[in-house]
Amino acid sequence: MGWLADESGLDRTPANFVPLTPLSHLARAADLFADRTALVYGGTRRSYGEYHARVSRLASALVARGVRPGEVVATILPNVPAQAEAHFGVPAAGAVLNTINTRLDADTVGHILDHGQARVVLVDTAFLPLAEAAVAAMEGPAPAIVEVADTEAGIAPSGRYPEYEALLAAGDPGAPWILPGDEWESLALNYTSGTTGRPKGVVYHHRGAYLTTMGTVVSWRMVLHPVYLTIVPLFHCNGWCHVWLMPLVGGTLVCCRDITAKAIYAAIADERVSHFAGAPIVLNALIHAKPEDRRAFDHVVEVITAGAPPPAATLAAIEPLGFNVTQVYGLTETFGPTTECLWRAEWDDLPTEERAAIKARTGVAMPMMEDITVHDDAGRPVPRDDATTGEIAIRGNSVMKGYYRNPEATAEAFRGGWFRSGDIAFQHKDGYIRITDRAKDIIISGGENVSSVEVEGALMHHPAVMLCAVVARPDEKWGEVPCAFVELKEGQDVSEAELIAFARARLAGFKTPKHVVFCDLPKTATGKVQKFELRARARAMPSG
């Protein structure tokens, strides 16, 4: 179907078919925008020519160290230049990039290094203790550690490991890149937050990342030479693919190590930042910033937000400050955002409250996606009636290859020819999706996914705890925080502070409960805890 009667001689050749890869964006930018500023971090400013040369040095140095195509190179880095360079330099060596969440505990990081079989790991000096503890927890061969010292932040190298700048100095700035022979080749390995057990390894392909960069340019209405501030951690879905996007439009990447309202306002004022992305917690920080942390600016900053549905009140408060916010939605499995709350001109003159309510919608499919809809339990689209809920189902080129070394989970995620998100939503009459709840009781705190099951498991280790249930409690700063409802064993006693400290010793900080309520847990006749009641109680609790 769709073929001409005689297709002889109409073959794919190097002249008419090149595998799609985001690496091509930087190669092009180094030629077209060689002298333009590609990257800014404190006093560091690098042109596209310099950026490309450093990426080439990194790629060739990794090859010289024995990294072979298809092998994994990991990073444990904040949003510093080395993390941006690794996004191009690791795949330019033919390797697969694994950016690891710096907020995870050592046991989980060790599992990721083991499962991904990383050969090398680039580690910020501040996170060397985490990396060392993770390596000690590994069962398989340990990766070689390369230390990345952040001199801009005043952090001196430890001297215990080979240093990143020395690695680059040994590389060749003119070395050819190892480009994919097939756009389906693996580009990156990203691990989920482990909301149902151990994190799963999500495999990205070059094609999906390339198309995500193209689609984002359209959705974000970008023109040439934007200035983008890295608020989204580059270990989250590779920064939503934005680091790969910037060279496409000759943009400037402004690195931000410590995400504070003061740093964001300063970057907007000093570097004329035009775009950034982040969770609603970032918007709240800007709204409630102290007067001394604010800086004046005279342009509108385009912002996309995701991680949790932003309250309409937050959206209403942020706009007058000079920010135009668009809500997006996506998952690790979809290269980051795949829907946008596409704005319509007929909404411009609505009252502020109504405009904010519309902006809080999850939205419609972005250009690189084939279809995003809501399905019932039988896999059929639900009516677009503003009420009937189902599961968000996704189909398109910016969906993962699958879960690494987990074919069963991959098959389940792709059941029926769609990616099953696990997120519950309904569709408005105009097709716009709106999330109503999250499956599997995921808590989203400051943009980080927290598994209630994992937190409950940690608390259940305490000798005084008989039973516990963890739900989300609304929080002005973090959006949501874990709240634990605990039933104690008869004759046992423990304080809220003691239980929180007990959990903190076993969990990452963002996963630790911020509140503990001692009570008899509401249960069904079969003994299942009725979490909907606990959620209602958590929402009704006084703030603070």
Structural tokens at position 473: 């409690």
406 contacts 387 by C-beta, under 8 angstroms: no
Report the pLDDT value the prediction gives residue 184, as an integer from 0 to 100.
98
- CB atoms < 10 A from the CB of 526, how many? 5
Report the pLDDT value the prediction gives residue 352, as an integer from 0 to 100.
84
Domains 259-441 and 447-540 share a fold: no
Lowest mean pLDDT among 50-59, 83-92, 504-513, 522-531: 522-531
Top-level CATH class of 447-540?
alpha beta
Across the chain, mean pLDDT equals 93
Report the pLDDT value the prediction gives residue 526, as an integer from 0 to 100.
40
Average pLDDT over residues 153-178: 97
User: pLDDT at residue 159 above 90?
Assistant: yes
Report the pLDDT value the prediction gives residue 109, as an integer from 0 to 100.
96
Give, in degrees to the nearest 5, the angle at Cα 253 between 247 and 258.
Answer: 155
Lowest mean pLDDT among 91-100, 347-356, 363-372, 520-529: 520-529
The DSSP-derived string for 300-353 is PEEEEE-SSPPPHHHHHHHGGGTEEEEEEEEEGGGTEEEEE----GGGTTS-HH
- Give residue-wise pLDDT tens across range 358-397: 988 899 999 999 999 999 999 999 999 998 989 999 999 9
Report the pLDDT value the prediction gives residue 460, as an integer from 0 to 100.
82
Residue 70, Cβ density class (10 Å: 0-12 exposed, 13-18 middle, ≥19 buried): exposed
Model confidence at 479, pLDDT cuts 50, 70, 90, reads: confident
Top-level CATH class of 259-441?
alpha beta
Report the pLDDT value the prediction gives residue 525, as an integer from 0 to 100.
41
Lowest mean pLDDT among 306-320, 332-346, 472-486: 306-320
Top-level CATH class of 18-205?
alpha beta
User: pLDDT at residue 178 above 60?
Assistant: yes
- Give residue-wise pLDDT tens across range 452-471: 777 888 898 898 987 888 99
Sorted by where each begins, the domain ranges of the chain are 18-205, 259-441, 447-540
Structural tokens at position 211: 């198309």
% of the chain surpassing 90 pLDDT: 78
Report the pLDDT value the prediction gives residue 55, as an integer from 0 to 100.
98
- Give residue-wise pLDDT tens across range 190-215: 998 764 468 999 999 999 999 999 99
Structural tokens at position 501: 């400290």
510 contacts 445 by C-beta, under 8 angstroms: yes
- CB atoms < 10 A from the CB of 174, how many? 10
d(CA 161, CA 121): 11
User: pLDDT at residue 122 above 60?
Assistant: yes
Lowest mean pLDDT among 45-54, 238-247, 273-282, 307-316: 307-316
Give the position of tokens 């060739």: 60
Report the pLDDT value the prediction gives residue 531, as an integer from 0 to 100.
84
d(CA 183, CA 176): 18
Average pLDDT over residues 20-47: 98
Per the rule left: phi > 0, alpha: psi between -120 and 50, beta: everything else, 339 is beta
Average pLDDT over residues 500-514: 92
- What b/e readout covers 74-104, taking b as 16+ CB neighbours within 10 angstroms? bbbbbbbbbbbbbbbbbbbbbbbbbbbbbbb
- What b/e readout covers 406-427, taking b as 16+ CB neighbours within 10 angstroms? beebbeebbeeebbbbbbebbb
Give the position of tokens 């029926």: 416
Average pLDDT over residues 70-82: 98
User: pLDDT at residue 528 above 90?
Assistant: no
Model confidence at 482, pLDDT cuts 50, 70, 90, reads: very high
